[in-house]
Structure 1
Amino acid sequence: MFTTHATFLLAGQTVHHITFNPSTFSDADLLWLPHYHQLAEAGRKRKADHLAGRIAAFHALNGQTVPGIGNNGEPLWPTGITGSISHSGTQAVAICRQNGLTGIDCESIIAEKESREIQDGAIHPQEAQLLTQSGLPFDLAFTLTFSAKESLFKALFPQVQAWMGFDSARITALNADTLTLTLTRPLPPFAQNQPFTLHWCRLDAMVVTLICDE
C-alpha cells in the first residue's frame, strides 16, 4: 500500500501522520504485521485502515515494534508506554508517550447539513447551544465535539475498561486551540464532573483532537 509519513506538533507532542491510498492495498501488505492473522476475516477497508494506523504507530515507537490488538480491539503498547491511534478516510495518526492519559482522534469534518440532521441524537441541547455560541462554524464545532469524545474515551479506557457512550461526557468549553469535556457520570477511577482539557487542530478537511494529561 502506498503511504507517506509526516509529523506535526500538537500540544507540544509529536503526532505521526500517515496519508495512504487504499486502492493500492493488497492482502500481502498485512504480512508486515506480526498479528496479521487476526485480520483474516476483516474487510478490505478495515485492513487498509488498520495497516495505516499501525504504520503511524510504528513511526511513533521509533520503529521498535508494532502494537498488537487487545481483547477489545485496543492497541497493545509496550510496557511503560501510553499511546493512541486513529484513522479517517485516507489519513491515519498516532502518538505515544512515557506516561499519562493519551488519546487521539482524527475525523473528516462533517458537513453542516448532516451535522444539523444528527445533532439531536449525538449531543445534548446544552452542548448544541455552546457550539452555536463558540464562534466556530457549526460543522467544525460539531465534528470537534465528536472527535474529542473519541479521544477522551480512548485515553480513559485502559483504566475504565468499559464502554463509554457519547453521553458519558459533555463539552463545556471550546476555543480556537482547546476544548473541555466534563464527565456526566462516574467512570471509576474518574469522578463525575471531572473536567479534561483537549487540544485540537485542523488539517485541511480533517480535525485532530488530543488529550495528553499527566
Structure 2
Amino acid sequence: MNIQPSTFSLGGLTLHRIDFDPASFTDADILWLPHHAKLQPAGNKRKAEHLAGRLAAFHALQLHNLRHIPDIGDSRQPLWPQDVYGSISHSGTTALAVVAKHPVGVDLESIFTPEMANEVVGSVVTPDERRVLEASGLPFELALTLAFSAKESLYKAYSFAASELPGFNEAQVIALNAGQITLRLAEAFSPALAGEMCQVHWRQDGRQVITLLSKTLQSA
C-alpha cells in the first residue's frame, strides 16, 4: 500500500500521521501485522485503514524505544505495551496515532455538513452546550464537529475508567476557543470522576479536525 508518513505537534505531544492510498492496498500488505489473521473477514477498506493506523502506532511507539505493533483487544481496542498509553484514529485516507506516559486520546473527523449538523446536534450536545458553541465565534458546523470529536478523544483516553459504554451527554463542553475545548465529566461517566475537567487541544486540517486530550484530568 502506498503511504506517506509525517509528524506534527499538538498539545505538547508528537502525533504520527500516515496518509495512504486505499486503492493500492493488497491482502499481502497486512501480513506485516502479527495479528493479520484476525483481519481476514474484513473488507479491503477496513484492512487498509487498520494497517495505516497500526503503522502510525508503530512509529509513535518508537519514540519511546518500543518496537511493538498493537494487537486487537476483545472490544476491538488497540492493546498497548505496559506502562504506556496510546490512541489511534483514522478518517478518509489519513490515520493518526499518539503515545504518552499518561492517558491520551486522539480523534480525526470530517467537518459536519449543515445537514449532518442539524441531524445530530441533539444527540451530541445539550442546549447549554449549544450556547457555548454558538458563543465561540466559530462556524456552528465546525464547533459541533469539535464537540463531537473532543468527546471521542476523551472517551478513548479514559474508557478504562468509564462505568459502561459512555454516551455524549456524559461529558459537557463548558468552554471552546481557538485552540482548546474544556470538558467536564458527569457522574454517569464515572462516579469517582464526577465534576472532573480536562483540556482537549484541537486544530483544523482542511475539511477535517483533529482533537487531542493530552493532559490528566483536573478537579473543577
Task: Compute the TM-score of the two structures, normalised by the length of structure 2.
Answer: 0.92
Indicate the residue corresponding to 2:82 in structure 1. Answer: 79
Choose the corresponding residue for 1:187, options 171, 186, 189.
Answer: 189
For residue 197 of structure 1, report the CA deviation from its aligned partner: 0.9
Deviations 1:52-83 (A, max 9, x none): 11010011011711111111111111111111
For residue 123 of structure 1, report the CA deviation from its aligned partner: 1.8
Amino acid at match of 1:57: A
Residues 159 and 189 in structure 1, CA contact (< 8 A), matched pair in contact too? no
Runs of at least 5 residues in structure 1 that lack an aligned partner in the other structure: none
Aligned residues: 213
How is 1:58-137 mapped onto 2 (pairs within 5 angstroms)? 58-62=58-62, 64-97=67-100, 99-137=101-139
Q: CA RMSD in A?
A: 1.5
Indicate the residue corresponding to 1:53 in structure 2. Answer: 53
Runs of at least 5 residues in structure 2 that lack an aligned partner in the other structure: none
Indicate the residue corresponding to 1:211 in structure 2. Answer: 213
Residues 61 and 67 in structure 2, CA contact (< 8 A), matched pair in contact too? yes
Indicate the residue corresponding to 1:23 in structure 2. Answer: 23
1:192/1:159 Cα in 2 relative to 1: closer, same or farther (>3 Å)? Answer: closer
Take 1:168 and 1:102, find their aligned partners in 2: how far apart are those partners?
A: 18
> SS state of the match for residue 41, structure 1?
coil
Amino acid at match of 1:11: G
1:71/1:31 Cα in 2 relative to 1: closer, same or farther (>3 Å)? Answer: same
Deviations 1:16-54 (A, max 9, x none): 011111111111111011101111111222111111110
For residue 188 of structure 1, report the CA deviation from its aligned partner: 3.6
Tell me whether 33-42 or 181-190 shows the greater mean CA deviation.
181-190
For residue 10 of structure 1, report the CA deviation from its aligned partner: 0.2
> SS state of the match for residue 61, structure 1?
helix
Deviations 1:66-112 (A, max 9, x none): 11111111111111111100000111100001x21211101111112
Task: State percent identity of aligned pairs.
Answer: 46
For residue 161 of structure 1, report the CA deviation from its aligned partner: 6.8
For residue 185 of structure 1, report the CA deviation from its aligned partner: 2.0
Indicate the residue corresponding to 1:12 in structure 2. Answer: 12
For residue 203 of structure 1, report the CA deviation from its aligned partner: 1.2
Take 1:201 and 1:111, find their aligned partners in 2: how far apart are those partners?
A: 18
Residues 77 and 83 in structure 1, CA contact (< 8 A), matched pair in contact too? yes
Indicate the residue corresponding to 2:145 in structure 1. Answer: 143
Residues 87 and 93 in structure 1, CA contact (< 8 A), matched pair in contact too? yes
Deviations 1:127-170 (A, max 9, x none): 11211111001111111111101100000013337311111111
For residue 189 of structure 1, report the CA deviation from its aligned partner: 6.7
Indicate the residue corresponding to 1:160 in structure 2. Answer: 162
Take 1:209 and 1:39, find their aligned partners in 2: how far apart are those partners?
A: 27
Residues 163 and 190 in structure 2, CA contact (< 8 A), matched pair in contact too? no
